[in-house]
Amino acid sequence: MVKGRTGQRVRLYVRGTILGYKRSKSNQYETTSLVQIEGVNTKEDVAWYCGKRMAYIYKAKTKSSGTHYRCIWGKVTRPHGNSGVVRAKFKSNLPPESMGRKVRVFMYPSSI
C-alpha cells in the first residue's frame, strides 16, 4: 500500500469488480474468480489484459507489516464469455466477502 505518499496521487491501474466465482448453476469453483474490468466489453479487448497482475485490497482490524490494509495478488488468466468478463486466479482464493467489491488491475507485466 502507499506509504504516506505526499503530492500527486496517480492511478496506474484499471478498476475491476469481482463478480463471483467460476460456476455452473449449482456448483462453484472458488479457485477462479470472475472479474468485470471497467471499459472492457468484448472478448477481443481482454487480450490486452491477459497476464496482467491484479490486487484485491481489503482492510483488517489488526496491523500487519505496519498497516491495516492487506492484499491478495492475482492475475488475469483468460476471457470469460464474449462480453469482456475475465477469469482471474489469485495466490489464495478470494473470500466470498469480495463479491461485488473492487479489484485493481495493473498495467504490468507490460508488453507495449
Determine contact, residues 46/35, Cβ cutoff 8 Å: no
Q: Which of 4, 6, 10, 65 binds other proteins (CB under 8 A)?
A: 10
Nearer to other proteins, 21 or 105 (CB): 105
Interaction between residue 69 and other proteins (CB under 8 A): no
CB neighbours of 17 closer than 8 A, spacing ≥ 6?
35, 36, 38, 100, 101, 102, 103
Nearer to other proteins, 5 or 61 (CB): 5
Interaction between residue 12 and other proteins (CB under 8 A): yes
Nearer to other proteins, 29 or 38 (CB): 38
